[in-house]
Structure 1
Amino acid sequence: MTRVSGRRPIRSRRSRARVVPLTQVPPKRLWIIFWILAAGLLGLVGRMAWLQLVQAPDLEQRARQLQTQRTQPLGQRRPIVDRTGRLVAMDEKRFRLWAHPRYFNMPGDAPNLVRPAEDVAAVLADPLARPAPALLRAMGTQASGIKLAEELDPETADRIRALGISGLDLEAYPQRVYPQASLFANVVGFLNAERQPQAGLEQSRDGDLARHEQTRYLRRGADGTPLPANLAPGAFYGDDLRLQLTLDSRLQQVALKALAEQVAKWKAQKGAAIVMDATNGELLVLASTPTYDPNRYWDFPTGRFREWSVQDLYEPGSTFKPINLALALQDGAIQATDRVNDVGKLMVGGWPINNHDKKAHGLVDFATVLQVSSNVGMVQAMRRLDDDAYWNWMERLGINQRPDTDLPGAVAGQLKSKKQFTSQPIEPATTAFGQGFSLTPLKLVQLHGMLANGGKLISPHITRGFRSGDALAPAAAPSGQQLLNPEVTRTVLQWMESVVDQGSGKGVKTPGYRIGGKTGTAQKALNGVYLPGAKICSFVATLPIENPRYVVFVVVDEPQGEHAYGSTVAVPVAKQIIDALLVVERIAPSKPAELNKLLNS
Structure 2
Amino acid sequence: MRPRPARVVDFQPVPAGRLVAVYAILSAGLVGLAARLAWVQVVQGDQLLNRARAIQTQTIQPLGKRRTIVDRQGRLVALDEERFTLWAHPRYFAFPGDDPGTVRPSLDVARKLSAVLAVPMADLMRNLGDRKSGVKLASDLDPDTAQRVRKLAISGLDLEPYPQRLYPQGGLFANVVGFLNLERVPQAGLEQSRDSDLKRHEAQLSLRRGADGTPLPDGLRPGVIYGDDLRLQLTLDARLQQVAQQALTKQVKQWKAKRGVALVMDVRNGEMVALASTPTYDPNQFWKYSPGLFREWSVQDLYEPGSTFKPINLAIALQEGAIDPAGKVNDTGQLTIGGWPIFNHDRRGNGLIDFPTVLQVSSNVAMVQAMRNVKPATYWEWLRRLGIDEVPDTDLPGAVAGELKTREQFVTQPIEPATAAFGQGFSLTPLKLLQLHAMLANGGRLVSPHITRGLRSGDDLAPPPPASGVQLIRPEIAKTVLNWMETVVQTGSGKGTKIPGYRIGGKTGTAQKALNGIYIPGARICSFVANLPVDDPRFVVLVVVDEPQGGNAYGSTVALPVARQIIEALLVLEKIPPSAPSDHRTKTSGSAPGRAG
Give yes or no for TM over 0.5. yes
Residue 598 of structure 1 aligns with which residue? none
1:522 aligns with 2:532: no
1:195 aligns with 2:187: no
1:384 aligns with 2:396: no
1:577 aligns with 2:566: yes
The SS at the match of 1:530 is strand
Distance across 2 between alignment mates of 1:112 and 1:511: 83
Distance across 2 between alignment mates of 1:253 and 1:22: 110
Q: Which moved more, 1:52-61 or 1:364-373?
A: 52-61
The SS at the match of 2:556 is helix
Aligned mate of 1:89, from 78, 86, 104: 78
Distance across 2 between alignment mates of 1:21 and 1:261: 121
Aligned mate of 1:132, from 98, 115, 121: 121
Per the TM alignment, residue 227 of structure 1 is displaced from its structure 2 partner at its CA by 3.5
Report Cα offsets for 1:204-236 as digits up to 9, x if no partner.
111110000000001122244543443244311
Report Cα offsets for 1:4-52 as digits up to 9, x if no partner.
xxxxxxxx99766665543222233223323332433344345445545
The SS at the match of 2:200 is coil
Distance across 1 between alignment mates of 2:485 and 2:72: 30
Aligned mate of 1:107, from 91, 96, 101: 96
Q: Which moved more, 1:319-328 or 1:113-122?
A: 113-122
Q: Which moved more, 1:62-71 or 1:570-579?
A: 62-71
Aligned mate of 2:555, from 558, 566, 590: 566
Per the TM alignment, residue 55 of structure 1 is displaced from its structure 2 partner at its CA by 4.8
Residue 587 of structure 1 aligns with which residue? 576
The one-letter code matched in structure 2 to 1:428 is P
1:416 aligns with 2:405: yes
Per the TM alignment, residue 413 of structure 1 is displaced from its structure 2 partner at its CA by 0.5
Unaligned runs of 5+ in 2: 584-597
Residue 588 of structure 2 aligns with which residue? none
Distance across 2 between alignment mates of 1:534 and 1:225: 71
1:356 aligns with 2:345: yes
1:71 aligns with 2:64: no
Residue 462 of structure 1 aligns with which residue? 451
Contact 1:512 1:593 in 2 (8 A): no
Per the TM alignment, residue 259 of structure 1 is displaced from its structure 2 partner at its CA by 0.4
Moved over 3 A (4+): 12-22, 41-61, 223-230, 591-594
The SS at the match of 1:276 is strand
Per the TM alignment, residue 280 of structure 1 is displaced from its structure 2 partner at its CA by 0.5
Aligned mate of 1:449, from 430, 435, 438: 438
Distance across 1 between alignment mates of 2:579 and 2:129: 74
The SS at the match of 1:69 is strand
Aligned mate of 1:238, from 220, 227, 232: 227
RMSD, aligned α-carbons: 1.8
Contact 2:247 2:565 in 1 (8 A): yes
The one-letter code matched in structure 2 to 1:345 is Q
The one-letter code matched in structure 2 to 1:177 is L
Residue 5 of structure 1 aligns with which residue? none
Q: In terms of Rg, which structure is larger?
A: 1
The verdict on how the C-alpha distance between 1:126 and 1:360 changes in structure 2, with shifts beyond 3 A counting, is same
Distance across 2 between alignment mates of 1:333 and 1:458: 26
Aligned mate of 1:473, from 449, 458, 462: 462
Residue 253 of structure 1 aligns with which residue? 242
Distance across 1 between alignment mates of 2:320 and 2:93: 85
Per the TM alignment, residue 165 of structure 1 is displaced from its structure 2 partner at its CA by 1.5
Unaligned runs of 5+ in 1: 1-11, 595-601
- 1:33-44 paired onto structure 2 within 5 Å: 33-44=22-33
Aligned mate of 2:383, from 364, 374, 394: 394
Residue 526 of structure 2 aligns with which residue? 537
Residue 495 of structure 1 aligns with which residue? 484
Contact 1:121 1:135 in 2 (8 A): yes
The verdict on how the C-alpha distance between 1:369 and 1:265 changes in structure 2, with shifts beyond 3 A counting, is same
Residue 593 of structure 2 aligns with which residue? none
Contact 2:175 2:296 in 1 (8 A): yes
Residue 431 of structure 1 aligns with which residue? 420
Distance across 1 between alignment mates of 2:512 and 2:11: 132
- 1:192-341 paired onto structure 2 within 5 Å: 192-341=181-330
The SS at the match of 1:84 is coil
The one-letter code matched in structure 1 to 2:116 is P
Number of aligned positions between the proteins: 583
Distance across 1 between alignment mates of 2:375 and 2:8: 144
Report Cα offsets for 1:56-113 as digits up to 9, x if no partner.
5543332222111100000000000000000000000000011122222222333323
Per the TM alignment, residue 115 of structure 1 is displaced from its structure 2 partner at its CA by 2.1
Contact 1:500 1:507 in 2 (8 A): yes
